[in-house]
Structure 1
Amino acid sequence: MESKNRIKDNEEFKRLYKKSKRYHNKDYRILVANNEFNFPRFGFTITKKFGKANKRNKIRRRLKEIIRLNLDKFENKDYIITPKYHTVDYDYKELESSLLHLINITKKGK
């Protein structure tokens, strides 16, 4: 995932937590807000419930790769993706199918 597609600034996260639409399924919670750019941006919130840093980093790397390969399926908005702690046991395909399902819901605005 390119650097321009990342949300890193703490102030941006705070703004998005306050002014975003929220969507969820059994595996993820996603916050979506409009942005002023012509490309989507992503941030991740992965809590310590996942375990040590190696487990948190593993799921973050997988999510970044899913997004990189499916970037054309995202609208030009800001997304904060929060996986639920049981997803640490999922393989790549399960993570991908669940995330793409939720992204389709956000496009419909349900």
Structure 2
Amino acid sequence: MEKAYRIKRNKDFQNIYRRGKSVANRQFVVYTRKDASLEHFRLGISVSKKLGNAVQRNRIKRAIRENFKVHKDDIIPIDLIVIARQPSKRMTTLEIQSSLEHVLKIAKVFNKKIK
């Protein structure tokens, strides 16, 4: 993901947590916050140390990022934070992708119908 698509600063994370809306399924929690000044979405990823060692956490983050690369043009300009939950550490990349698509549909962040 390019720099412009990332949320990195703690201040931004806290702002989205406080003022944003959240939706969840068993594997992920997604916080969203609309920002009129954005031209495209911005993504923040949070994977707790409780989910495993660095290798496992980075695998989950890579799978989440890959899903957003695939749907880059389908997501409305919005700030998103994805938080991985415990069941996600036992999932394959394809399972992570389908679960993430499910929760993003619930959050209504797609600008058109996704299969």
User: Normalised by the shorter chain, which TM-score bucket?
Assistant: over 0.9
Compute the displacement of 1:31 (Å): 0.3
TM-score with structure 1 setting the length? 0.93
TM-score with structure 2 setting the length? 0.89
Tell me the C-alpha RMSD between the 2 structures: 1.2
1:28 partner letter: F
Q: Once superposed, which parts of structure 1, at least 4 consecutive aligned residues long, lie more than 6 Å away?
A: none
Find out whether 1:31 has 2:31 as its counterpart.
Answer: yes
CA distance in 2, matches of 1:27, 1:33: 20
Partner of 1:49: 50
Q: Identity over the aligned pairs, expressed in percent?
A: 29
Equivalent residue of 2:67, what SS? helix
Q: How many residues align?
A: 108
CA distance in 2, matches of 1:100, 1:72: 14
Deviations 1:37-95 (A, max 9, x none): 11000001111111111111111011111111111221110000001122111011111
Equivalent residue of 2:38, what SS? coil
Q: Which runs of 5+ in 2 are unaligned?
A: 110-115
